[in-house]
Amino acid sequence: MIKTKLAAISAIALLMAGCHNPMNSVENAQKEGQRNMIADQRVVNDMGLNRSVYVAGVNTGMTPGGFLKVQVELFNRTRSFHRFSYHFEWFDENGMQIDNVVSATVPDQIEGGESKFVSAVAPTPACRDFRLKLLEAH
């Protein structure tokens, strides 16, 4: 009797988890564009978030108007869908944070096994450095 109940509970749990299956993807193997990958410095306080929203790499570029553009590749190392939010901060050549009226905390989501990019453009040409903050969604 207990075994039957356990099997039923397991089946329901599996079905519920299956609501968001991990994803498959395909892309061109011979890349035309070359990403300017940069060395990054990380602070990981939330190990769970680091598994589901893992920073796979960071690349930067400049826009035609001379603004720093940052692109961060995130990878979900789990099989389950995950909600998170992120926020970019910008710093000038003296390391002073640049106050930005439209610096949004952006809610986002990532499928199990998915690799996705989040990007941002610096608010002024004076921005030299950046910091991306990743947070678990409530």
CA 122 to CA 129: how far, in whole Å? 9
Task: State the nearest-atom distance from the C-beta of 63 to other proteins, in Å.
Answer: 4
Residue 100 engages other proteins in binding (rule: CB under 8 A): yes
Choose, by CB under 8 A, the member of 105, 118, 131, 134 that binds other proteins: 105
59 contributes a contact to other proteins by CB under 8 A: no
Around Cβ 118, how many Cβ atoms within 10 Å?
Answer: 19
Stretch that binds other proteins, among 15-23, 31-39, 48-56, 60-68 (CB under 8 A): 60-68
Residue 135 touching other proteins (CB under 8 A)? yes
Sign of CA dihedral 31, 34, 39, 41: negative
Length of the chain equals: 138
Contact call for residue 69 and other proteins (CB under 8 A): yes
Beta strands per DSSP E along the chain: 54-62, 68-75, 82-91, 106-110, 115-121, 129-136
Give the residues lining the site for other proteins (CB under 8 A): 63-65, 67, 69, 83, 85, 100-107, 120-121, 123-125, 135, 137-138
